[in-house]
Homo-oligomer: A and B are copies of this chain.
Amino acid sequence: MEFQVKFDINEKIFLRNPESSEVGRQMVKKAIDLIYELGFEQFTFKKLALEISSTEATIYRYFENKHRLLLYILNWYWSYMEFLVTFQLENVSDKKERLKIILNLLTQEPTESTNQFDYNKKLLNQIVIAESSKVYLVKEVTEINKNEVFKPYKDLCGKIAEVISEYNPKYKYPRSLSTTLIETSHHQQYFSINLPKLTDVSSENSSNFTSKFIEDFLFKVLD
């Protein structure tokens, strides 16, 4: 079975919908490749324009600045994650199993994209790990939050919080635990590769280290 998913991204994020044209779609696809390759700081619209054989001016007609473009990509990712959670939880009633499915989604590398029209999920996942905090750790966070541009992240968090509460209705901090799971999965994956002394990875336990760590703490917190 194969299918594509589309999400309605909040219109406040872009000036012109990149889904509405070929350049727009190319723009987002190549942006993912470039941000992965260069890191967000070194990524520029000039470099992206060159890559898609277009111009800076054209890109600026779609996105106000590179921060917005990153936000667009992350909104897509968060929507996609919420979709995956919903989809994979379908018909699973065991409450522990439901949590495990979520942990799996948060810590496993996504499967390779099979069709060329889709975004590259592996690169996207790496971008989320290394760059996602840069969209909210900015001075203007309150201002940009007014346009509900973080709604997909909040929704994902809310969905995971629900599953947590189903499992243990007495637990008092389902949302905070939910963001902690998400953020910690990013940190520990990043640290275990780049700054392993900040973790407990070793050559023996390196495979799925983050999974094991997070699963261990989640069930200790909830049981």
Residues of A near any B CB (own CB < 8 A): 38-39, 41-42, 130-131, 133-134, 136-139, 141-142, 145, 150, 153-154, 157-158, 172-177, 179-180, 183-184, 187-188, 190-191, 194-195, 197-200, 213, 216-217, 220-221
Contact = CB atoms under 8 A, between A and B. Distances in A.
Contacts of A141: 194-195
A175 B198 contact: yes
- The secondary-structure label for the interface of chain A is helix
Contact of A187 (B131, B145, B179, B197): B179
B200 A174 contact: yes
Given A195-B141, A221-B217, A200 B173 contact: yes
Contacts of A198: 150, 153-154, 157, 175-176, 179
Given A153-B198, A200-B173, A137 B142 contact: no
Contacts of A199: 173, 175-176, 179
A122 to B, nearest CB: 17
Given A188-B180, A191-B179, A172 B216 contact: yes
**Most chain B CB within a 10 A radius of its CB, from A38, A137, A153, A184:** A137
- Shortest 10 CB-CB distances between A and B: which pairs? A39-B139, A220-B221, A176-B199, A173-B200, A154-B197, A179-B198, A175-B200, A141-B194, A173-B213, A176-B213
Copies in the complex: 2
A158 B180 CA distance: 21
A68 to B, nearest CB: 14
7 contacts: A130-B137, A131-B137, A134-B137, A136-B190, A154-B197, A157-B198, A220-B221
Contacts of A172: 200, 216
B187 A139 contact: no
Contacts of A138: 39, 41
Contacts of A220: 220-221
Contacts of A195: 136, 141, 145, 150, 154
B139 A42 contact: yes
